[in-house]
């Protein structure tokens, strides 16, 4: 029991962030209490002369600590046009734009800011019960010097006044939020693979950084797709430097998380005015038909800035490239500076890791 007697939200989300909580709650009493702890009655006197168990003492301490509004070190500065969040634990090293999600929803009558700094628990600052007449034309999000600044485009709206009259809460390690999206475009990139372009609801902002992923919910045909806010806590910033040696091993749709990394590294090459290739991609598929089109990617398959090799396990007789399943002899010789990214089916990942 790694988390016995403690708040295990972070640990649970680390391994089960994609879990459908609604389904879970149908059969189990699982989840965070969302009411006002200060309104709960105090426990009655003990009916036993026996001392309280350790777990009971820990539970009493947790409840007592949460009856007061926790700030978790977060300071909030509001004026007529902006909101600024800062915290002693947020720095330029662990907080970037990709670590911030913002949601201003007139229909839900709330304003949420979720900050997920590297190496620290996520913090959600939320104002609920906002008037439906409080609408904004848009906002800009800036992360600088460990602070989050949100500036609103609203001529007739005093942001400070609106938020001061709303219900305010600060929560550590919030549950993963989902947003209903509209499919703007769908196109085939291979015989069995489709590329979807989704539009987030108005007022929702969250970039998906390198090393992050999202979870989807599709309940039944005709429903809107629900997409989660970014998941993941691994910092791959140093991996995006195009001067570092990087080997990517991808099988099938395992190419997906590599695209963001390729995009950032190629942009870095362009900014440096360099054409040096330190990126190698080994792409594993069954047949030629499984190789996706490259017209949606930040590069073409024959781009010299990335050394790409296609390896097929069930090729046609006309295939002249490499064949087989992943094995040690397909991989370049390792060195201390080489970094490796692996994504694909479980069996592929396990074989590649060996």
- In three-state secondary structure terms, 172 is strand
Known binding positions for FAD = 256
Q: Find, among 158, 260, 270, 154, the residue nearest to 208 by Cα.
A: 260
- What are the phi and psi torsion angles at 276 (to 5°)? -65, 135
Contacts of 117 (CB under 8 A, 6+ apart): 87, 89, 90, 91, 94, 95, 99
Output the known binding site. 256
Q: Name the helix (H) or strand (E) containing 228.
A: strand 225-228
Which residues are bridge partners to 176 per DSSP? none
Tokens of 77: 């500065």
Query: DSSP per residue over 82-150, as a string?
Result: EEEEEETT--TTT--GGGEEEEEETTTTEEEEEE--TTS--EEEEEES--TT---S-EEEEEETTEEEE
If you ran DSSP here, which 8-state letter would residue 5 be given?
A: T
């Amino acid at each position: 029991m790694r988390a016995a007697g403690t708040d295990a939200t972070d640990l649970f989300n680390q391994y089960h962030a994609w879990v459908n909580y609604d389904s879970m709650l149908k059969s189990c009493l699982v989840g965070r209490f969302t009411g006002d702890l200060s309104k709960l009655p105090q426990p009655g006197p003990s009916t036993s002369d026996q001392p309280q168990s350790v777990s009971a003492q820990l539970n009493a301490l947790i409840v007592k600590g949460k009856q007061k509004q926790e700030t978790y070190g977060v300071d909030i500065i509001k004026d007529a046009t902006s909101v600024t969040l800062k915290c002693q634990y947020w720095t330029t090293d662990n907080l970037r734009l990709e670590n911030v999600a913002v949601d201003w929803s007139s229909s839900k009558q709330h304003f949420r800011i979720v900050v997920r700094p590297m190496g620290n628990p996520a913090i959600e600052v939320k104002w609920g019960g906002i008037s439906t007449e409080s609408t904004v034309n848009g906002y800009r999000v800036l992360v600088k010097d460990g602070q989050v600044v949100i500036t609103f485009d609203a001529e007739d709206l005093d942001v400070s006044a609106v938020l001061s009259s709303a219900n305010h809460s600060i929560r550590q390690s919030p549950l993963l939020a989902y947003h209903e999206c509209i499919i703007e475009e769908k196109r085939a990139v291979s015989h069995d693979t489709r590329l979807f372009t989704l539009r987030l609801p108005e007022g929702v902002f969250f970039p998906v950084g390198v090393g992050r992923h999202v979870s989807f919910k599709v309940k039944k045909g005709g429903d809107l797709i629900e997409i989660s806010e970014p998941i993941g806590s691994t910092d791959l910033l140093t991996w995006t430097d195009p001067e570092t040696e990087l080997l990517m091993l991808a099988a099938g749709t395992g190419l997906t998380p590599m695209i963001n990394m390729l995009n950032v590294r190629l942009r870095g090459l362009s900014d440096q005015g360099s054409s040096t290739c330190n990126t190698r991609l080994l792409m594993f598929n069954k047949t030629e038909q499984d190789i996706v089109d490259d017209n949606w990617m930040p590069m073409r398959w024959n781009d010299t800035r990335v050394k790409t090799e296609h390896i097929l396990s069930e090729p046609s007789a006309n295939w002249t490239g490499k064949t087989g399943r992943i094995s040690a002899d397909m991989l370049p010789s390792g060195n201390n500076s080489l970094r490796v990214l692996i994504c694909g089916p479980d069996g592929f990942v396990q074989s590649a890791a060996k």
